[in-house]
Amino acid sequence: MSQNPILQLQNLSAAYGQSQVLWDIDLNLLPNHAMGLIGRNGVGKSTLLQTIMGTHKVHGGTVIFDGEDVTSLPAHLRARAGIAIVPQGRHIFPHLTVLENLETGLSARGDRGNGKLPEYIFDLFPKLKDVRSRNGGFLSGGEQQQLAIGRALAGSPKLLLLDEPTEGIQPNVVQQIEAAIHTIKTELKVSVLMVEQRIEVVWNIADQFTAMQEGKIILQDDIANMSAEDASNIVRI
Ligand SMILES: Nc1ncnc2c1ncn2[C@@H]1O[C@H](COP(=O)(O)OP(=O)(O)OP(=O)(O)O)[C@@H](O)[C@H]1O
């Protein structure tokens, strides 16, 4: 029996003022799947994630999450429904401790949380437990990324939107982030839609990819159907 998508985008468009940047976006993401969003700088990948989260206004079309039309819901109600985002650049709070940063994520699901951080955050990122009393600003780039992902997971989302999770991260730490995203999908059963410039990362952990060019989708397929090299050549045309 086929599964219902956790996320369905239908004919979605977005604009900055008079300038339209997304056109006719159709996308289906299945539960417990990971999809990589690839394309050159400026093609609209971040805008697409923000439009799904509700932090950027939908210009036209529909966002259906977990069977509900959330197109007109503000971001905090989409968060309550179970969408979480880790923004590009991480945006952790440098003057709050690691624990305080994580606790800011608890409010996302409203009264569904019991005020306690889920233990799986520290199972996933044991280092965060070691540095829990340190200010976020003192962490390395990789640790800050773990913190940003952990904060998003604090609200027990069903869908995690990741905007360039390996950007600015040392190559040896990229593998740890990859492993964490794999665990988030397979063990925590959270669906993942990730923008990622390192195409090999997408090929290591995603099930599908969506390639964008100039605000439109030009190709969507299972990872298994195409090599990373071929996909890379297509999006760089
Ligand atoms: N706040 C803004 N105001 C006006 N235009 C914007 C704004 N943010 C982005 N844009 C424009 O919208 C288009 C899509 O940008 P977006 O950041 O979504 O692309 P991207 O694929 O995520 O690129 P990158 O990989 O560089 O983040 C670009 O032309 C960009 O210049």
Tell me the ipTM for this assembly: 0.94
CATH code, 220: 3.40.50.300
The verdict on residue 226 lying in a domain is yes
The verdict on residue 79 lying in a domain is yes
The verdict on residue 2 lying in a domain is no
Distance 84 CA to ligand 1 centre (A): 20
Q: What is the pTM of this model?
A: 0.94
For atom 26 of ligand 1, the residue with the nearest CA is 41
18, 38, 47, 218: residue to mutate for ligand 1 pocket, most atoms within 8 A of CB: 47
| Number of structural domains the chain divides into | 1
The verdict on residue 115 lying in a domain is yes
**Do the bridges between strand 83-86 and strand 159-163 make them parallel or antiparallel, or are there none, so unpaired?**
parallel
For atom 2 of ligand 1, the residue with the nearest CA is 16
The range of the structural domain enclosing residue 159 comes to 7-235
pLDDT in tens, 37-89: 999 999 999 999 999 999 999 999 999 999 999 999 999 999 999 999 999 88
**Residue 107 or residue 149, greater confidence:** 149
Kindly give, in sequence order, each residue whose CB lies less than 8 Å from that of residue 128, ignoring residues fewer than 6 positions away: 98, 102, 121, 122, 143, 146, 147, 150
pLDDT score recorded for residue 235: 82
Tell whether the model's pLDDT for residue 162 goes beyond 60. Answer: yes
The verdict on residue 224 lying in a domain is yes
For atom 24 of ligand 1, the residue with the nearest CA is 41
